[in-house]
Amino acid sequence: MTRSASMAAAALAVGLAIAAAPAAHADDFSGTYSFNAPAQGYTKGFSTTWTVTPCGDDCRHITTATGGTDTDAHREGPHWVFYRYADPGVDCPSNAYIMTRTKMPATLRYTVDPEKMIGQFQPEGTPCGGTPMPSRFDLTKLS
């Protein structure tokens, strides 16, 4: 084998090894976090503490200090996603003229960006009769 052929074979082997390697994720989404969702849209502001523990390669178990969440989040691209049923889940305005609110049960979809330590949640479907806007939240790592 000539020198250029052996170099090409080595480059091909390295390229195949890189292509075959599983995608690495830079984040280490585990530990204890302060969760803060300011008042917005259909939710009053609230805060709690999340405890996040690994439960597999692309799985993180999330529990909250308030007991409202005890579920697994799974990776969807660069984000962690989980669903939580809440009753009541959202505050819906009764109508445009009377600003009373009706509390409705909902399944909320949470999306977490572990690199930026932000996320959003939004009801699945239309519990208030219209397309719901997502609400944002911030995470601060405590330990």
Which pLDDT value is given to residue 57? 87
DSSP state of 131: P
In 8-132, where do the E strands start and end? 31-37, 46-56, 59-64, 70-76, 79-93, 101-113, 118-123
Contacts for 7 with CB less than 8 Å, ≥ 6 apart? none
Instruction: Please state the domain extents for the chain.
Output: 26-141
Res 8 pLDDT > 50? no
Q: What is the pLDDT of residues 33-88, one digit of tens each?
A: 999 988 765 567 788 999 999 998 899 999 998 877 889 999 999 999 999 887 76
Beta bridge partners of 47: 36
pLDDT band at residue 108 under the 50/70/90 scheme: confident
Exposed, middle or buried, 103 (CB in 10 Å: 0-12/13-18/19+)? Answer: middle
**Mean pLDDT, rounded, for 117-133:** 76
pTM over 0.75: no
CATH topology of domain 26-141: Lipocalin (2.40.128)
Strands 79-93 and 101-113: antiparallel
Joined together, the tokens standing for residue 13 give 């082997």
- Please give the average per-residue pLDDT across 104-116, as a whole number: 88
